[in-house]
Amino acid sequence: MHNFVLVVHIILAVLMIVLILVQHGKGADAGASFGGGGAATVFGASGSANFLTRLTAILTALFFVTSISLAVFAKKQTTDAYGLKTVQSTSQPAAPLQQNTGETSPAAPK
């Protein structure tokens, strides 16, 4: 499920980038007054602005849903990995470490 949501998330991101780059800016309407009325014939009288704006809004909403679901999956993985459930209790205490100070034990007198 995680991989499926990740693939959908990446596809939505690429589609949003392409769709945003295709849209015209606010200054692009000035060119239509000099004979560039081709957009009005393809998408209707309002041009492509309405269609592309709605499609961008839908893709953005889906992108946010996949982002939140990926965050939930990531939180679940880290909780499972570092939770107290994964720590195994040992029945035997650990052996104390011996401290080596570099001193040797005194030799027995002769």
Cα dist from 80 to 6, 65, 71, 86, whole Å: 20, 23, 14, 7
Whole-model pTM: value is: 0.57
The beta-strand segments (E) located in the chain are none
The tens digit of pLDDT for each residue in 4-16 reads: 999 999 999 999 9
What is the residue whose two structure tokens read 């100070």? 101
The tens digit of pLDDT for each residue in 93-108 reads: 566 666 666 666 666 6
**Cα–Cα distance, 26 to 33 (Å, whole number):** 14
Per the CB < 8 A criterion, the answer to whether 4 and 66 are in contact is no
pLDDT band, residue 62 (cuts 50/70/90):
very high
